[in-house]
Amino acid sequence: MKGTEFLDLDNLNSREDFEKLLFDILEPLRTRYNDFCTGIERDRVFAHYDAKAADMEAFSRPLWGLVPVWSTGDAEDRYEDIASEYAGIYRKGLTEGTDPSSEGYWGDCKPFDQRFVEMAAIAYGMLFAPHAVWDPLDESAKKNLAAYLGRINDEELPVCNWILFAVLVNIALKKRGMPYRPDMLENYLNGLETFYLGDGWYCDGDSGQKDYYISFAIHFYCLVYAKVMEAEDSERCMTYRSRAMDFARQFIYWFDKDGDAIPFGRSLTYRFSQVAFFSACMLADLEPFPVPVMKALITGHLRSWLMRDIFDGNKMLTIGYGYANLHMSERYNAQGSPYWALKSFAFLMLPKDHPFYAEKPQADISPLWKDPVCSMKHADMLVYHYGNHTTAYVPGVYSPRGHGHIVEKYGKFAYDSKFGISVSRSQYELCECAPDCMLAFLIDGYVYVRRICEEHEIEEDSVVSVWSPYPGIRVRTTLTPTAEGHIRVHEIESEIECTAIDSGFAIRRDDTCIVDVNVSDDKNVSFAANKYCECSVTGTVTEGSDFSDDPVSAHSYIADPNTHLMYPKTLIPAVEYRIRKGRSILKTEIKSVWYE
C-alpha cells in the first residue's frame, strides 16, 4: 500500500501537519500492542535474535517519533487523547518489560544483545520527555527500568556505533538521578574518537564501513549528546557540533534535488531515516544550510518515501526498500525494525514558534551543489550530482563480516538515488545474479563479481580499485564520472579465457502500469529506456582484441523479479566481452539520464 492512500502528503508545513503525519503513520500500531504493552501484534518476521528482543524492538522504535512530540509539553493540548494514550501504553510497557516477575518481561541481557540497541530509544525518552515516560512511574518501576538499562554496562558490545547506545543510557540515568557508570561513559566517549577520520566522517568502528550509520547513528547520537550535555561537557559538545557541520557539507551530496538519497550500504529498510541527520541538526540548533533549504530537503525526502508502496494492507511499514521485499533484508531485521525511520521526526522537538514551521520550503535547492563533483576520501567515494539524481562511485571497501547482500550493498561501481541497485538471488545465472553496475565474469556456470578490493584510490575526478573476482584474474578498474554518466576502464590480467558482462543501471519494466519500455541491442551498444529514464552501455576493447570475431557485443537481459531494491521488475542493459589470456583493456561508457 502507498502512503498516498491514507496519509496527507500535500500539507507538510506547520508543526500540526507533521504531528498529524506522525500519528497517522503510528495509528495502525495503536490497537496492536500486546496485553503487557511490551510488543506489537503483527505477523512475525524472524531475525537472528530471540522473539522477546524482537518484541522490545517493535515496542521501542516508535519512540523515535513519539518522544519529539512529547518533548515540547504542549502536544497533549492538541492531541490530548492520542498523545496521552500512547504515553500510557509506553509507561505500562516500560514497567512490565523490565520487571522480571512479569510475563511481559523482555528477558535477561547477554553480550552483543539486540536489547541494547533498543535501549537507545528508551534513553531518548528519558532525556527529552521524562514527564511522559519516567516521572509518572512508581519507585519500584523506576528502579527496575534503571537496573535493566544499566545492564548495558555489564556486557560486551560490538566495537561500532553500539557504544553510543551505552552513552545515551548512561547520560539518561545520570539526568534522572539514577546510578550510572561514569567510567564506562568516559571510556565509550574516548573510544568514539578512534572512529574519527576527518572532514566530519567517522567509520563504523572496527568494520571500517562508512554508510548511513555515520549519519543516522553516530552523528545523530553525538548531536543528542551535544543538546543535553552542554553544561557538563561543553568542549566535547562543541567538537560534535563542528564535526556535524563539516559532515553536512559532504553528506548533502548523497541527496538529489528532490530529496531522494543513494541506496548504499546496509539497513536500507530503515528508509526515510536517511534524512535523520539533518533532522538531528535542527534538534541541536545547527543550521548547516538555511532553514528553508533544510525544510525542503526533509519534507521532500519524507514525501518521496511515503508516496511509495512501503506499507502492508494494515498500513504498517514493511521490510524492504521501494516495496515490501524480504529478499533484500539483513539477518537483524524483524517486524518492528522499519520504524527506525521515525528518527527523521527529531525536528518535532523544535518549539512551535521556530522558523522551521513558519518558513516555506525553498522551491529550488539545486544551488546547494555548485560543484557537481565531491571527492569524499574519508568516505571512500566520489559523488557526482546530476541535479535530479545523484551517483556515488565507490571502490568496494567494506567489512568481510557481512549481514546480508554485503557485496551488492557496498561493492558495485555506482549507486544512484533514482536508478537504485539490485541484490542477487544466486551466483548461478546472470538473471538471478542481476549484477547491475558491475563487471561480472562467467566461469564454469558461475557468476563472479568484485568483492572487496585489494587496493583503492579516491582522486578528485576518479575512483581506482584493484580486485580479483576469481583465481588467476586481476582487474584494475578506473571510474570517471562524466556530465552524462561515467566511463569504466578495466585493465585485466587473466590466466584463462572467459566471458565478462559489464552492466549499466537497471531499468524498470512493469505490467501493472504503463512505463513504455524500449530496448535495443546493436553491435557494441545496449540501450534501455522507459518513460522515466534511459541508460546506454557502449563497450570497446582497446587492448587484447585478437579474436577472429567481435570481442564485444550488446547483451541486455531481464533480471529476476524482486532483485531490484526500488522496482519489482527490471531489465539491465549490458555489453558482453570475450576475455583472452594475458592482458586486456576494456572501456565501457555508461550514459544515464533521468528525465525531469
CATH number at residue 16: 1.50.10
**Alpha helices in 229-384, H assignment, sequence order:** 234-251, 276-283, 291-306, 355-358
Domain total in the chain: 2
The one-character DSSP state at 193 is: H
Mean pLDDT, to the nearest integer, of 44-63? 95
Question: Where does a domain end: 339, 369, 399?
Answer: 369
pLDDT band at 546 (very low <50, low <70, confident <90, very high): low
309 and 183 part of one domain: yes
528 and 404 part of one domain: yes
Question: Domain holding 565: CATH number?
Answer: 2.70.98.70
93 and 164 part of one domain: yes
**Rg of the chain, C-alpha, whole Å:** 25
What's the grid cell of residue 3? 502512503
Average pLDDT value over all residues in the chain: 95
CA distance 450 to 439: 7
DSSP 3-state helix, strand, coil percentages of the chain (rounded to 5)?
A: 40, 20, 40
pLDDT for 81 equals: 66
350 and 391 part of one domain: no
The one-character DSSP state at 560 is: P
Helix (H) or strand (E) holding 376: strand 373-376
Is residue 324 within 8 Å of residue 309, measured between CB atoms?
yes
Strands 525-529 and 582-594: unpaired
Is residue 458 within 8 Å of residue 376, measured between CB atoms?
yes
Beta bridge partners of 383: 374, 392
CA distance 250 to 397: 18
For residue 517, give its domain range: 373-594
pLDDT digits (tens, 9 = 90+) for 555-575: 999 999 999 999 999 999 999
416 and 524 part of one domain: yes
183 and 39 part of one domain: yes
pLDDT above 80 (res 234): yes
Residue 514: burial class (beta carbons within 10 Å; 0-12, 13-18, 19+) = exposed
CA distance 16 to 58: 25
169 and 282 part of one domain: yes
Q: Which of 220, 435, 420 is nearest to 320 (CA)?
A: 420
55 and 137 part of one domain: yes
pLDDT digits (tens, 9 = 90+) for 245-258: 999 999 999 999 99
pLDDT for 282 equals: 97
pLDDT band at 74 (very low <50, low <70, confident <90, very high): low
Mean pLDDT, to the nearest integer, of 480-487? 97
pLDDT band at 452 (very low <50, low <70, confident <90, very high): confident
pLDDT digits (tens, 9 = 90+) for 397-411: 988 777 889 999 999
313 and 404 part of one domain: no
494 and 467 part of one domain: yes
Question: Where does a domain end: 369, 392, 410?
Answer: 369
385 and 341 part of one domain: no
Identity of the residue numbered 576: E
pLDDT for 548 equals: 56
539 and 491 part of one domain: yes
Whole-model pTM?
A: 0.96
Question: Where does a domain end: 312, 335, 369?
Answer: 369
pLDDT above 90 (res 529): yes
pLDDT digits (tens, 9 = 90+) for 158-167: 999 999 999 9
Mean pLDDT, to the nearest integer, of 324-349? 96
pLDDT above 80 (res 336): yes
Q: How many other C-beta atoms can be found within 10 angstroms of the C-beta atom of residue 480? A: 17
Number of H helices, E strands in the chain: 18, 22
